[in-house]
Structure formats: structure tokens, C-alpha cells
Amino acid sequence: GRLDQHSEGLILLTNDGDLAQRLAHPRYKVQKTYFVVVAGALAQEELAKLRRGVYLAEGIARIDGARFRKVRKSFTELEIVLSEGKNREIRRILARAGHKVVLLRRIAIGPLRLAELPVGAARELTQQEVKSLYACTQPAAASKSSPSKNAGAANLDFAAAGY
């Protein structure tokens, strides 16, 4: 998945087309987790409204989950989870609630977390991480498809922290 020019965080680079398709296509419902800072204090009621959904140009958009990390008068820090990320969706959803996004960082894709990887750095994924990414992309009905022959080839899959 892509990040817009004003966002930062976890990006996966791979030449495994099957894995890339599974991680990007909404049918697989791979959850992406974001650390978000918005201007102003976001109320619990506003967050509940975002979970129920707001109208955007292409229809109703809703977040899959969210939790407050810190609320102050001048800003709110939260984690937001989406399983389908449309163009600038978090920014547009929060704008509908009257809050400008100050910082948007993707911190997880499925089970893979950004952790302490510095901005601009990259590292190879372990075979276990690749397997866990495949595992989280299994459709709701048990799929008979198996990871491609490249799955787990650590030299093909990279995690990078970008901005």
C-alpha cells in the first residue's frame, strides 16, 4: 500500500506479486494500523461517530477500530485501524469530524509492526514474518491457496520506514 506525501511509516517492498496483491486488495481485509495526531481535543462521541461511518464522495467510510493514546486541549493522539484504505481516507474522515491531521504514521500492516525502524531505513523480513503476512491474508472461508514459491525468501521482501 502507498502512503501520501504527507504521511510516513511502514512500507513493504516485495517482488512477490501474490503477496503484494493479498496485502493490497480489500477482499483480504488486512488491517493497517496508524498513529495519528490531530489538532484539538477529539471527544469519545466523535470517535464513536467515525466508527459508525461518515459520508465521503465515494460513499460511507468507517474506521475498523480506534483508541485514544493521549488527549489534550490542543491535540489528540490516537491509533486508527483500517482494513480498506482509500486515497487519504483517514485525513478525509477526520476532516469531516472537524479535525486536521497533524501527523499520520502507519505503524503496522497485519501482524508486522514498524517498531524502532528509523525513517529512511530498510531491513529484510524474516521467513516467519513473511509467513505471518500470508497467514493474515487468508480469506474468511478457508483458502486452499498456499504461499507462492517465493514466500519466505528473505532477500525478496523488505520493510522500510518512509516519509
Alpha carbon distances (Å) from 39 to 32, 36, 77, 85, 102 = 22, 10, 9, 22, 6
CA 147 to chain centre: 22
Q: What is the pLDDT along the chain (163 residues), one digit of tens a residue?
A: 678 888 999 999 989 999 999 998 888 989 999 999 999 999 999 888 888 888 888 888 889 999 999 999 999 999 999 987 777 889 999 998 899 999 999 999 999 998 888 888 889 999 999 999 999 987 654 444 444 444 444 334 555 555 4
* Residue-level pLDDT at 143: 42
* Residue-level pLDDT at 3: 85
**Please, what are the domains in the chain?**
1-29+115-163 (no CATH), 31-109 (3.30.70.1560)
Quick: pLDDT tens for 50-91. 888 888 888 888 899 999 999 999 999 999 999 877 778 899
What CA dihedral angle connects 96, 48, 22 and 152, to 10 degrees?
120
Residue burial 60-83, b: 16+ Cβ < 10 Å; e: rest: ebebeebeeeeeeeebbbbebebe
Three cell numbers at 122?
530498510
Unique residue bearing C-alpha cell 500470508: 134
Task: Specify the amino acid at residue 26.
Answer: P
User: Out of 4, 16, 18, 157, which one is annotated catalytic?
Assistant: 4
4 is catalytic: yes
